[in-house]
């Protein structure tokens, strides 16, 4: 599921933090799977998760500046 910045902005602060936590956990699982030599089901998934984390962090930073 690809998150858009507009969708992230609609979330409450608590929802964003929960989403960020879930994304970091899934990134950890993907990296562990890759490190153990498992073939990823979707080769671009790690990159996608990292981008989504960056989007959430960007929106959170923008919110803090306001």
Task: Give 3-65 as a DSSP string.
Answer: PPHHHHHHS-HHHHHHHHHHHHHHHHHHHHHHHTTPPPSSTTHHHHHHHHHHHHHHHHHHHHH
What is the domain class of 5-65 according to CATH? mainly alpha
Q: What is the pLDDT of residues 30-56, one digit of tens each?
A: 998 888 887 767 888 999 999 999 999
pLDDT band at residue 7 using 50, 70 and 90 as cut-offs: very high
What is the mean pLDDT of the segment spanning 20-27? 96
Per-residue model confidence (pLDDT) at position 50: 96
Q: Is 36 exposed, middle or buried (0-12, 13-18, 19+ CB in 10 A)?
A: exposed
């Amino acid at each position: 599921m690809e998150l858009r910045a507009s969708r992230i902005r609609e979330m409450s602060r608590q929802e964003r933090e929960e989403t960020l936590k879930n994304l970091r956990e899934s990134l950890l699982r993907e990296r562990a799977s890759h490190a153990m030599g498992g073939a990823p089901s979707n080769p671009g998934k790690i990159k996608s998760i990292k981008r989504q984390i960056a989007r959430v962090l960007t929106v959170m930073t923008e919110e803090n500046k306001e």
